[in-house]
Amino acid sequence: MANTSCGEPPTANNLTANDYTPRSCAYRMVEQHFPALEGERVQYSGDTWELTGKIDIKQNGDLIHATAHTPDRVRGSTSLLGFTLENSPASLNPGNPGELTGELEQTDAGYELVVHRPHGTTRYKLNNLRSA
Protein backbone atom coordinates (compact mmCIF):
# COMPACT_ATOMS: atom_id res chain seq x y z
CA MET A 1 0.00 0.00 0.00
CA ALA A 2 1.30 3.44 -0.89
CA ASN A 3 2.19 5.94 1.76
CA THR A 4 -0.54 8.48 2.52
CA SER A 5 -0.55 11.75 4.41
CA CYS A 6 -1.82 9.74 7.38
CA GLY A 7 0.96 7.17 7.19
CA GLU A 8 0.86 3.45 6.65
CA PRO A 9 -2.13 1.48 7.91
CA PRO A 10 -1.75 0.25 11.48
CA THR A 11 -0.84 -3.38 12.06
CA ALA A 12 -1.20 -3.58 15.86
CA ASN A 13 -4.21 -5.18 17.53
CA ASN A 14 -4.79 -7.58 14.61
CA LEU A 15 -5.64 -4.77 12.17
CA THR A 16 -4.99 -5.20 8.48
CA ALA A 17 -4.84 -2.78 5.57
CA ASN A 18 -8.52 -3.58 4.95
CA ASP A 19 -9.41 -2.10 8.36
CA TYR A 20 -8.01 1.28 7.43
CA THR A 21 -9.29 3.94 5.04
CA PRO A 22 -6.35 6.16 4.04
CA ARG A 23 -8.53 8.67 2.21
CA SER A 24 -10.30 9.67 5.41
CA CYS A 25 -7.50 8.56 7.75
CA ALA A 26 -10.05 6.84 9.96
CA TYR A 27 -10.94 3.30 10.83
CA ARG A 28 -13.90 1.78 9.06
CA MET A 29 -17.02 1.00 11.00
CA VAL A 30 -17.03 -1.99 13.28
CA GLU A 31 -20.24 -3.97 13.65
CA GLN A 32 -21.29 -5.31 17.03
CA HIS A 33 -24.45 -6.99 18.25
CA PHE A 34 -26.01 -6.03 21.59
CA PRO A 35 -28.73 -8.59 22.41
CA ALA A 36 -30.03 -6.35 25.22
CA LEU A 37 -31.06 -3.76 22.60
CA GLU A 38 -33.18 -6.17 20.53
CA GLY A 39 -36.80 -5.09 20.65
CA GLU A 40 -36.14 -1.85 22.59
CA ARG A 41 -38.46 0.88 21.32
CA VAL A 42 -37.63 4.54 20.82
CA GLN A 43 -39.98 7.42 20.02
CA TYR A 44 -38.05 9.66 17.65
CA SER A 45 -38.84 11.97 14.74
CA GLY A 46 -42.58 11.26 14.91
CA ASP A 47 -42.29 7.46 14.72
CA THR A 48 -41.73 4.47 16.97
CA TRP A 49 -38.48 2.68 16.16
CA GLU A 50 -37.59 -0.82 17.30
CA LEU A 51 -33.90 -1.60 17.68
CA THR A 52 -32.51 -4.78 16.12
CA GLY A 53 -29.44 -5.00 18.36
CA LYS A 54 -27.00 -4.32 15.49
CA ILE A 55 -24.71 -1.33 15.99
CA ASP A 56 -21.89 0.18 13.94
CA ILE A 57 -19.08 2.01 15.73
CA LYS A 58 -17.96 4.88 13.47
CA GLN A 59 -15.69 7.94 13.35
CA ASN A 60 -13.03 6.60 15.69
CA GLY A 61 -15.69 5.71 18.24
CA ASP A 62 -17.37 9.13 18.43
CA LEU A 63 -20.53 7.97 16.64
CA ILE A 64 -22.66 4.84 16.87
CA HIS A 65 -25.38 3.91 14.39
CA ALA A 66 -28.03 1.52 15.71
CA THR A 67 -30.19 -0.28 13.16
CA ALA A 68 -33.92 0.10 13.80
CA HIS A 69 -37.20 -0.42 11.98
CA THR A 70 -40.77 0.80 12.33
CA PRO A 71 -42.65 -2.19 13.76
CA ASP A 72 -46.17 -0.81 13.33
CA ARG A 73 -46.16 -0.73 9.55
CA VAL A 74 -46.75 -3.67 7.22
CA ARG A 75 -43.57 -2.79 5.33
CA GLY A 76 -41.51 -1.33 8.14
CA SER A 77 -38.78 0.99 7.00
CA THR A 78 -35.26 0.40 8.26
CA SER A 79 -33.19 3.34 9.44
CA LEU A 80 -30.11 4.14 11.47
CA LEU A 81 -30.44 5.96 14.76
CA GLY A 82 -27.32 8.07 15.33
CA PHE A 83 -25.87 8.29 18.83
CA THR A 84 -23.04 10.79 19.42
CA LEU A 85 -20.43 10.62 22.16
CA GLU A 86 -21.32 12.87 25.09
CA ASN A 87 -17.96 13.25 26.84
CA SER A 88 -14.95 13.21 24.57
CA PRO A 89 -12.29 11.72 24.52
CA ALA A 90 -13.58 8.56 26.23
CA SER A 91 -14.83 7.01 23.00
CA LEU A 92 -14.65 3.36 21.99
CA ASN A 93 -11.73 2.10 19.92
CA PRO A 94 -13.22 0.72 16.69
CA GLY A 95 -9.88 -0.90 15.87
CA ASN A 96 -10.07 -3.00 19.03
CA PRO A 97 -13.53 -2.68 20.62
CA GLY A 98 -13.06 -5.57 23.05
CA GLU A 99 -15.93 -6.97 25.09
CA LEU A 100 -18.86 -4.55 24.98
CA THR A 101 -22.42 -4.57 26.24
CA GLY A 102 -25.00 -1.86 25.84
CA GLU A 103 -28.34 -0.66 27.07
CA LEU A 104 -30.79 2.08 26.17
CA GLU A 105 -31.78 4.67 28.76
CA GLN A 106 -34.46 7.32 28.48
CA THR A 107 -33.69 10.62 30.21
CA ASP A 108 -35.49 13.95 30.40
CA ALA A 109 -33.29 15.12 27.52
CA GLY A 110 -33.95 12.10 25.28
CA TYR A 111 -32.42 8.68 24.74
CA GLU A 112 -28.90 7.56 25.55
CA LEU A 113 -27.01 4.46 24.50
CA VAL A 114 -24.88 3.38 27.44
CA VAL A 115 -21.95 1.18 26.42
CA HIS A 116 -20.18 -0.83 29.11
CA ARG A 117 -16.64 -2.07 28.62
CA PRO A 118 -14.25 -3.75 31.07
CA HIS A 119 -12.66 -0.50 32.26
CA GLY A 120 -15.42 2.05 31.91
CA THR A 121 -18.78 3.20 30.67
CA THR A 122 -19.38 5.48 27.70
CA ARG A 123 -22.60 7.41 27.04
CA TYR A 124 -23.91 8.35 23.60
CA LYS A 125 -26.87 10.67 23.01
CA LEU A 126 -29.45 10.02 20.28
CA ASN A 127 -29.38 13.01 17.95
CA ASN A 128 -30.17 11.95 14.37
CA LEU A 129 -31.95 9.53 12.11
CA ARG A 130 -31.09 8.48 8.57
CA SER A 131 -32.23 5.87 6.07
CA ALA A 132 -30.30 2.62 6.04
Per-residue pLDDT of the chain (132 residues; tens, 9 = 90+): 333 334 444 444 444 444 444 444 444 568 999 999 999 999 999 999 999 999 999 888 889 999 999 987 767 689 999 999 988 766 677 667 778 899 999 999 999 999 998 888 899 999 999 988
Is 78 domain-assigned? yes
pTM, to two decimals = 0.74
Is 2 domain-assigned? no
Is 5 domain-assigned? no
Question: Measured between alpha carbons, how far apart are the two ends of the chain, in Å?
Answer: 31
Total domains in the chain come to 1
Helix%, strand%, coil% for the chain, nearest 5: 10, 50, 40
Range of the domain at 74: 29-131
Is 20 domain-assigned? no
Is 14 domain-assigned? no
